[in-house]
Structures are given as C-alpha cells and as structure tokens.
Structure 1
Amino acid sequence: MMSYESPCPSVESEDAVYPFNRPDTDLILRSSDQTDFRVHRAILEMASSFFADGCDAFDKRNTGMTSLEDGCLPVCHIDADGPTINLILRHIYPLTIPKVQDIDDALTAVQVSQQYGFRLVTNAMKQTIIRLAEANPLKVFARAALRRREDEMRLSARLSLRYPILEGYVPDLEELSAGTYYRLLVYHRQCGRVAAAAVDDLEWMEGLCGEGNSSLPAFFTCRLCPSFNITPAAIRSKEINVTSWFHALLLTFKQALRARPCGSTMYNDELTGPAMSEAMTCLVCRTSALRDCKRTVEILRETVNRAISLKVCNSIAVT
C-alpha cells in the first residue's frame, strides 16, 4: 500500500473535513471545486462497481480523470462538487447519514452515484427523492425537468395527482418551458378522465357482492330510499339499481377524481359526509351504511390506482 504524503504544493486544493482528511488513506478524490477527500480504496471498491475495477478504470474508460503526481497519493478527479462527494462518502463510510432536505442535492447525488456505480447510495437517494416528491411534487417535477431527469419527472408527475394541479404553484415552475408544464397538465387531465371512467365502469361492484344476497350492501337492497338505475359504461344494456344517496356519492367521487385522480382522494369525510347523513335517515341503510361506504372506498381506491398505473407518463418526457 502506498504511504501517505502531502499533496503537491503546485496544486491549489484544500482538504475536506474530518474524517476525509485522515493520514492513513491511500487515495485522493478531488472534486470539481478542488476539495481533496482522502479515502480508502478498499471501502470504495466494496461500495462502487466503478472503483471495483481498480483506479485504472478511469483510464480504461478514457475519461482522463486519473493522475499520479510525483510525491503524492494517486488523485482521482471526480466530476462533482465537494458537497456532493461528501454526501456520497457519508453513505458508504460508517458515519451518521445526513438527511437530505434539498431536492437539488438529492438529484445531483443520485446522478453522480449512478455515474460512479455507488448502487446503495443511488437507492438511498431515490428514496429521498420519493420522500421529497411526496411533500412537494411540483417542485421536484420542476427541478427534475430542468436537469432532464425523466424518471424523477414521471415519479413526481404521478405523485402530483394527489393535488389539484391548477391550484398548485412553486416558483421553480417559472423556469420551465410552457411546453413542459403543458404536458404535465395534459397528463393530469388524462388521468382524471381515466379515474372517472374507472368509477363508471362498475366492474368494481363485484367486490361488494360477496357470496349470497345476505352480504349485499344496503344501497343495493333498500326499498325505502329513492333509487336510481346506473349503467356500466361497457355494457349499456345492463342496469344496476342503487339508492339515491349512493348514486350521489359516486357522482361526488367522480367529480373529485377529475381534480385529484388518485385513490386516496376518496378518503375524505367532506366527500362522504352528505351521503352518509342521508343514509342515516333511512331505517334500512343506517345499520350498514358506514361499513358499506368504507368497503366501497377501499375497492374504488384499488380500482382507480390500478387504472392510473396503466396510464404511462410518456407525455411528460423531456423532448
């Protein structure tokens, strides 16, 4: 193993903070902003498929990023700034892993970790991006679009379905092209149509019937409430008789899903409350209305999410 010696005085660089300035290391990673991270090859080789090929992997790939300076440790020039390298190294060394809160930091780290084969770091950063996108999908979409990161654009576009798209705004959207934002709106509108159509299809009602008539929900069997005939979208000749309060509930769900095409949209007391209040006035429906509504929402959530998952986000890809 090569012994450590101080970097060449002719090179203008500064040492990273502890523990990446230890004297017992055998390799220097030099960032694009001239910060030197003294590291151990063995750790890099275990964590990275790139470094597992040996330090001559840089030369083999004709990147020209490896240099051996007289009187110094080998220096590998990494195409990333100091904070990004620091973040990646803290994921592979036995150190406290920092919690990333900035989407730009996460996107940069996932790009660099993919480039240099740090698989575990890549997976960790993808989970971080999911966490950040769940909290603010429009911001993540905008930042990912500016970096042309299509996977993260699709992820955040899907998560944005939880919110009314026209009511959402983040300053980062100002940096997007009109075309990119338009394609996001188109995707949102298309998913709204898909979600509403999934409710209209009525095939999901088979999950409510159970075995035998005794398990049928009251909104199918009640003869005290006013009733409506509803027709499955795919079978116009078939009619299903339901109570008026359940019919109103389905219409409410469809309207809400057009704005927020996501299964979780229906878990909202403001949506189910009026129908439940009407059901409670019926001597037949009141005994099972809450249970029947809960089961309906569970089945519809799965149905809507499955239908949305088949709607590929190709329309929002970078062009």
Structure 2
Amino acid sequence: MDAIIYRIGDLIAAQFLPTHSLGVYAVSCLAGFRHHARTAAAQSLKIKGLGRPSSGFAGMGAISAFDYHRLLKYHYECGIAAPAVGKSLEWLPSTPYIEGMQMWNCVTCGRGAFSRLAIQIASCRKLMITPWFEEYLVRSRKELAARPCELTPSQVSASYNRAIVKARDCLACQFVAHHALNTFRTFYIKEVKKAIAKASSLSMINLNLT
C-alpha cells in the first residue's frame, strides 16, 4: 500500500506541480510525502511575495500552522541568499574578457559623479561600476528578495529595462550595454541558482523536509 500511495503522490505532483505548487505542498505535508513537499517548496519560490494575505491557496486550511510557517521561512531564507549574490561580483571568472566588460571600464559614464560605487570584480580588484549597472544590481536584488528563483534575473524585468534605458545616456555604453548586460546575466543566473540551492539545502534540513 505504501508504494501505491506514493505513486499517487507522484501522479499528483506531475499533474499539478507547475501550476498549483502550494496545493501540492499542502497535500504532501498531509500525506507525509517529504520529497514532494521539498519539490513543491522549491517551486513556490517563483511566487512573488509569498506570505502576504493574497497568497492563500487550496488546501491551506488542511495543513498545520507549522507546515505553513516552515514554507514561509524557507521562502524568506532563499530571499536573503539570492539577493546577496549581487553585493559582490568576486564569483565572476577571472578572465581578460570579464575584466574588460563595459560596465566597469567606461571612462565617460557618470563622469564627475562622486557616488560611483567600487565593487569587487572576479578575483582581480575593486572597480568603479557605471551608474546604470549599479542601479541594475540594486533593483535586481529587490526583485530577487520578493521572488527568489533563477527565473527572476533570466527574464526581461523592470531592472533590466531600466538599465538599458539609463545606459543610453552614455555615448560609450549605449551601443554595447545590451550585449554586456546579457553576457553578465548568464553568469548572474548561474550564481543565483547556486545560492538558492545552498540556502534550500540548509532550509530543508532545518524544516525537517529531508
């Protein structure tokens, strides 16, 4: 019977996980399907602002307050880990191509702006980043705090669009910003994914979902 019941869990997850991750989480908690609860919790990271009153879901009334609390705690901890990736870029590969990227090599962008930020780039040194790229990092961190999953930086978002628009103010950046930002995002997405995976592993152990 255990095998049959678990097979039912597999079928439920396969059919409803992409669109009803919270419902699958609720059913999995009730049935003791730890693997499916863990998978559904990871899927729930795609839900922006989980925990607000509008985040009610079918099956919520059937699970305990503790089950819901640990889901929110998991979402919160991943929402701390993901934005932290953009605070330092020391994780970038140390290659001549990376060190020569436009967003930390423009000599005209933001000239005279005393507020330009120096940030660690790969393992080389701290470099002054352009104002449009600094704004991108700040805005993308806020987006990741609300929706801590790798889809957030991979999609064309408000932070991305704003950066491209701001880059047009610089004659040196306006023609290369699109390509430079897209190249950066390929590394950014991978690092965000790693940070979430690490936070998820720790959270799942603490939440007894191992």
Report the TM-score range of the alignment, normalised by the length of the smaller protein.
Answer: 0.7 to 0.9
Counterpart-to-counterpart distance in 2, 1:230 and 1:222: 13
Looking at secondary structure, tell me which structure has more helix per residue: 2
Aligned to 2:104: 220
Aligned to 1:112: 4
Offset, 1:222: 1.0
Aligned to 1:314: 205
Offset, 1:285: 0.5
Offset, 1:142: 0.9
Counterpart-to-counterpart distance in 1, 2:174 and 2:58: 48
Counterpart-to-counterpart distance in 2, 1:162 and 1:220: 31
Listed one character per residue, the Cα deviations across residues 75-134 of structure 1 (whole Å, up to 9, x for unaligned) are: xxxx5xxxxxxxxxxxxxxxxxxxxxxxxxxxxxx94175xxxxxxx5x97476255212
Counterpart-to-counterpart distance in 1, 2:14 and 2:187: 25
Aligned to 1:32: none
Matched, 1:249 2:140: no
Counterpart-to-counterpart distance in 2, 1:220 and 1:273: 19
Amino acid in structure 1 at the alignment position of 2:13: I
Listed one character per residue, the Cα deviations across residues 36-73 of structure 1 (whole Å, up to 9, x for unaligned) are: xxxxxxxxxxxxxxxxxxxxxxxxxxxxxxxxxxxxxx
For residues 120-199 of structure 1, the aligned pairs below 5 Å read: 126=10, 129-130=13-14, 132-164=16-48, 165-167=50-52, 168-199=55-86
Kindly indicate whether structure 1 or structure 2 has the higher relative contact order, using CA contacts under 8 Å at least 6 residues apart: 2
Matched, 1:305 2:193: yes
Offset, 1:262: 0.8
| Bigger shift: residues 197-206 or 149-158 | 197-206
Amino acid in structure 2 at the alignment position of 1:283: L
| Bigger shift: residues 124-133 or 183-192 | 124-133
Matched residues, number: 197
Counterpart-to-counterpart distance in 1, 2:85 and 2:157: 21
Offset, 1:286: 1.1
For residues 29-178 of structure 1, the aligned pairs below 5 Å read: 79=1, 111-112=3-4, 126=10, 129-130=13-14, 132-164=16-48, 165-167=50-52, 168-178=55-65
* Among candidates 126, 136, 147, match of residue 239 of structure 1: 126
Contact in 2 for aligned 1:184/1:315 (Cα 8 Å):
no
Change (3 A) 1:295 1:212: closer
Counterpart-to-counterpart distance in 1, 2:56 and 2:163: 32
Amino acid in structure 2 at the alignment position of 1:225: C
Change (3 A) 1:317 1:246: same
Counterpart-to-counterpart distance in 1, 2:187 and 2:98: 19
* Among candidates 281, 288, 312, match of residue 176 of structure 2: 288
Q: CA RMSD in A?
A: 2.8
Contact in 1 for aligned 2:29/2:63 (Cα 8 Å):
yes
Amino acid in structure 1 at the alignment position of 2:135: A
Q: Secondary structure at the match of 2:59?
A: helix
Counterpart-to-counterpart distance in 2, 1:131 and 1:268: 28
For residues 252-291 of structure 1, the aligned pairs below 5 Å read: 252-266=139-153, 267-291=155-179
Counterpart-to-counterpart distance in 1, 2:15 and 2:182: 28
Offset, 1:275: 1.1
Looking at secondary structure, tell me which structure has more strand per residue: 1
Q: Secondary structure at the match of 1:135?
A: coil
Q: Secondary structure at the match of 2:18?
A: helix
Contact in 2 for aligned 1:262/1:304 (Cα 8 Å):
yes
Offset, 1:268: 2.7
For residues 5-24 of structure 1, the aligned pairs below 5 Å read: none
Aligned to 2:118: 230
